[in-house]
Structure 1
Amino acid sequence: MSDPLDSPDGRPVPPPPRFAYDQHTWKEISYLLSSFPLAVCGFVYAVTLLAVGAGLTVTVIGLPLIAAGLSGARLLGKAERARARSLLGVRVDEPSPLPRHRGDGFFGWLWNGLKDSVGWRAVLYEVIRLPWGILTFTVTLVGLFVLWPVLPFIARGLSNADRAMVRGLLSPSDELERRIEELESDRGVVVDTAAADLRRIERDLHDGAQARLVNLAMGLGLAKEKLLEDPDAAADMVDEAHGEVKLALQELRDLARGIHPAVLTDRGLDAALSSVASRCTVPVKVSADLPERPAAAIEGIAYFTVSELLQNISKHSRATQASVDVWRSEERLLIQVQDDGQGGASLDKGTGMSGLAERLGAVDGLFVVDSPAGGGTTVTAELPWRDRSQQ
């Protein structure tokens, strides 16, 4: 019989009393007996950290010592969570690691360490646990020889108090703390994506329009030299340069469209998706049910998500037709792109699909791929709506 430690709504519920020395009771007894020696070690560590660190704050090593000691307290808390999980069945989320920002340096590390609430709560846990550990060790040890018939009840009551201490002091303090790690990861994705986009723009300018404009300048220079001695040749060179100008303008328009298309800004997501669908090599049916426009940033992410998916369909799917559906559901923008191609698309790391999933995840979006081999591909994306009026 397993411990019903959580209610259906997710709140912790103390396990019910048991009337036999089953494996759960013996685990609780083991936990209570082992708490005393571990509590002594933890108490010595915490008191030494506080006393020595506080005493040395007048020197340059005091605060760094406290910060390093709090990192050690984190490790003690992690060990205690593992012990409680193994012997008491307490399911406690791991707190997020300390945020580390590139370029913070020593003082950034020091400040993050000193304000670490997880480390301070672990220190408090070690200080409180010694007197409690002495009490539980004594009562449990006496119970083994004197109070044998009622020891399961005693062990259950004492271990329930330990469960409450672990949940109260060693679990993440609130939802914000649990989100820190995700936000740190999301920030890295956004930075990497922006850097990749800048490299792409630089490459497209260098290899495309810039090279063409250089050739244009050289051609016009030669035409100028031949203008008097060979007007016909100069005229031909000017005509050729005129063609180069048209091509350069087209490349610049394509590049600008890749950054942020004017049709998206002027006419919204429906018209922009119809425009990008018209350039797909596979016939695409676009359906958009958007009574109003979402935030500009969300429109941009939705546009480029569909654009990349349609490029994948053109290059890899071997499909004969595709569809794009966009609609609003409460405060979410939903996108579904389907094709009847060969399937086999995946979210494996390093693929274009995984990059799209990371981009959407950075703004609390979702990205789901259903692509059985030979059965076509359905990609469903979900983004927060975020009204323009709230920007």
Structure 2
Amino acid sequence: MAAASRVSTGLRFVYGKRAWLGALHLLIAPWWALLTAFATVAGLVGSLVTLPLVLLGVPLFVLTGDVLISAARSESTWFRRVFGVHIRISPRTVPTGTSLLGDARSLLTDSGFWQLAAYNVLRLPLALLTLLAPLLVLALGGYLVREPLRMMFVEGALPELAFLATPPKIAINGPLCILLGLTLVLGSPLLWRVFSNVHIGLAQLLLRGSKMHELTERVGELEVSRAATVDSVEAERRRIERDLHDGAQQRLVSLAMTLGRARSKKDNDPDGASALLEQAHNEAKEAITELRDLVRGLHPPVLADRGLDAALSGLAARSPVPVTVRYDVSERPPRTIEAIAYFMAAEALTNIARHADASKVVVGVERSGVALRITVRDNGSGGAFVRPGHGLAGLADRASGVDGTLTVHSPVGGPTTLTMELPCES
């Protein structure tokens, strides 16, 4: 049983989807490499030749930089969608827009730009080599199979197959020749995988900018996420103020007025005062319930005491839509991550109950490497998307504030899947 499983795994490795995607990439790569290499050489040489004509040489150089950076980002998208490999393209020098001379000077002093130019030049011979080598292997394998069989059917024998008629003579026995040919043909998908990985390795080596570029990009991302987090917290503060003002505060005002009326009637109308006290008692209980719900929405005590699993179970029990919780995390996450995960699940369940017209929901929590993944799936009507100022945008901002992500997949007609990944270092 174990041997059969290993054989099946090996066959999937050699002949699986990844190998055929590698073959597709090897077929397309030379044409794309030829185009980008031509753009690189023509742009740089043209800029140098026309440099005395500043009005022509400088804009051509800046245009070449823009084209190469756009091509690199397109290639990064290709690697991500085809091979699932994320190659982080550094933004490199962002044109200031103040002057072409300033933009050209920025590109000239940008090591990442010259890495990109070198990548486009080096990739062309690599793409040609990695396309021709598998084709030659396939051709040789086909020849080693076809020629002995032809000799057998034409000459009635299966002699040795001679590769060189003059010394040093190289000859291979017919059956061994067929076996070798079949090995080359059937093993060629493995070569496709290897060569496509070479392309990925070269891209990872040269498409990424220098450490300074990566740090600059990271600082920019943190500034954006910090601003989004501040906006999200401010929106949450306004929501809490609104809920307190429109909910609990109004009930407490009504409670005070009812108690005042009861006090004024306690001597002249004891029965009326008793009825008002009963009404005040009910209003006090409703105010307490609203305050408890408000506090639970912020940070429920059960979350701090017993963790995310128990808090999600409490959410599921109170949800008007049937909810199944699947919690598969052995070690408790950090408290901040737990709070964000709980808020995401609570917001999602609230939206589902109000808008999704769903009959069941599944909430899943699991560890995926160093990330905590929370998924909320429902069988509702779908059509959800992130809009600025709405609940899902607030969730995305909360996730980005801790370097996490929120993904929404909600085609019209459903189902809807919200996936939040939060960093969860142990």
- TM-score, normalization by structure 2: 0.57
Q: Secondary structure at the match of 1:285?
A: strand
Q: Secondary structure at the match of 1:258?
A: helix
Distance in 1 separating the partners of 2:108 and 2:42: 28
Q: Secondary structure at the match of 2:212?
A: coil
- Evaluate the alpha carbon distance shift between residue 177 and residue 299 of structure 1 in structure 2; reply closer, same or farther with a 3 A threshold: same
Residue in 2 aligned with 1:30?
46
Gaps of 5+ in 1: 6-13, 16-21, 42-75, 99-117, 127-166
Residue in 2 aligned with 1:93?
91
Distance in 2 separating the partners of 1:377 and 1:89: 33
* 1:1-391 superposed matches below 5 A: 4=33, 25-36=41-52, 38=54, 81-86=62-67, 93-95=91-93, 122=106, 125=109, 173-349=212-388, 351-387=390-426
Cα deviation for residue 125 of structure 1 reads 4.4
Distance in 2 separating the partners of 1:3 and 1:235: 86
Distance in 2 separating the partners of 1:242 and 1:87: 73
Write the letter of the residue equivalent to 1:28.
L
Write the letter of the residue equivalent to 2:420.
A
Q: Secondary structure at the match of 1:381?
A: strand
Q: Secondary structure at the match of 2:51?
A: helix
Write the letter of the residue equivalent to 2:319.
C
Write the letter of the residue equivalent to 1:31.
S
Q: Secondary structure at the match of 1:367?
A: strand
- Evaluate the alpha carbon distance shift between residue 280 and residue 123 of structure 1 in structure 2; reply closer, same or farther with a 3 A threshold: closer
Q: Secondary structure at the match of 1:35?
A: coil
Q: Secondary structure at the match of 2:385?
A: coil
- Evaluate the alpha carbon distance shift between residue 89 and residue 30 of structure 1 in structure 2; reply closer, same or farther with a 3 A threshold: farther
Write the letter of the residue equivalent to 2:50.
S
Distance in 1 separating the partners of 2:47 and 2:403: 40
* Contact 2:380-2:413 within 8 A present in 1 as well: yes
Cα deviation for residue 329 of structure 1 reads 2.0
Cα deviation for residue 326 of structure 1 reads 0.5
Q: Secondary structure at the match of 1:173?
A: helix
Cα deviation for residue 253 of structure 1 reads 0.6
Distance in 2 separating the partners of 1:79 and 1:202: 56
Write the letter of the residue equivalent to 1:84.
G
Distance in 2 separating the partners of 1:202 and 1:84: 51
Distance in 2 separating the partners of 1:261 and 1:267: 10
Q: Which protein is richer in helix relative to its size?
A: 2
- Evaluate the alpha carbon distance shift between residue 331 and residue 212 of structure 1 in structure 2; reply closer, same or farther with a 3 A threshold: same
* Contact 1:96-1:181 within 8 A present in 2 as well: no
What is the aligned-residue RMSD (CA, Å)? 3.6
Write the letter of the residue equivalent to 2:322.
P
- Evaluate the alpha carbon distance shift between residue 385 and residue 86 of structure 1 in structure 2; reply closer, same or farther with a 3 A threshold: closer
- Evaluate the alpha carbon distance shift between residue 230 and residue 88 of structure 1 in structure 2; reply closer, same or farther with a 3 A threshold: closer
- Evaluate the alpha carbon distance shift between residue 96 and residue 228 of structure 1 in structure 2; reply closer, same or farther with a 3 A threshold: farther
The 4+ residue runs of structure 1 with deviation greater than 6 A are: 87-90
Alignment deviations for residues 127-153 of structure 1 (CA, whole Å, 9 cap, x no partner) = xxxxxxxxxxxxxxxxxxxxxxxxxxx
Identity of aligned residues (%): 44
Cα deviation for residue 82 of structure 1 reads 3.7
Cα deviation for residue 380 of structure 1 reads 1.7
Write the letter of the residue equivalent to 1:377.
T
Alignment deviations for residues 134-189 of structure 1 (CA, whole Å, 9 cap, x no partner) = xxxxxxxxxxxxxxxxxxxxxxxxxxxxxxxxx9xx98833110112211111111
Distance in 2 separating the partners of 1:266 and 1:311: 23
Write the letter of the residue equivalent to 1:335.
I
- Evaluate the alpha carbon distance shift between residue 327 and residue 348 of structure 1 in structure 2; reply closer, same or farther with a 3 A threshold: same
Cα deviation for residue 212 of structure 1 reads 1.1
- Evaluate the alpha carbon distance shift between residue 374 and residue 207 of structure 1 in structure 2; reply closer, same or farther with a 3 A threshold: same
Gaps of 5+ in 2: 1-29, 73-89, 97-101, 111-205
* Contact 2:407-2:418 within 8 A present in 1 as well: yes
- Evaluate the alpha carbon distance shift between residue 228 and residue 282 of structure 1 in structure 2; reply closer, same or farther with a 3 A threshold: same
- TM-score, normalization by structure 1: 0.62
Alignment deviations for residues 319-370 of structure 1 (CA, whole Å, 9 cap, x no partner) = 1111111011221101111111222222355543333223212322122222
Corresponding residue pairs, total: 277
Distance in 2 separating the partners of 1:286 and 1:88: 45
Write the letter of the residue equivalent to 1:337.
V
* Contact 1:93-1:172 within 8 A present in 2 as well: no
* Contact 1:187-1:362 within 8 A present in 2 as well: yes
* Contact 1:282-1:314 within 8 A present in 2 as well: yes
* Contact 2:93-2:106 within 8 A present in 1 as well: no
Cα deviation for residue 225 of structure 1 reads 1.9
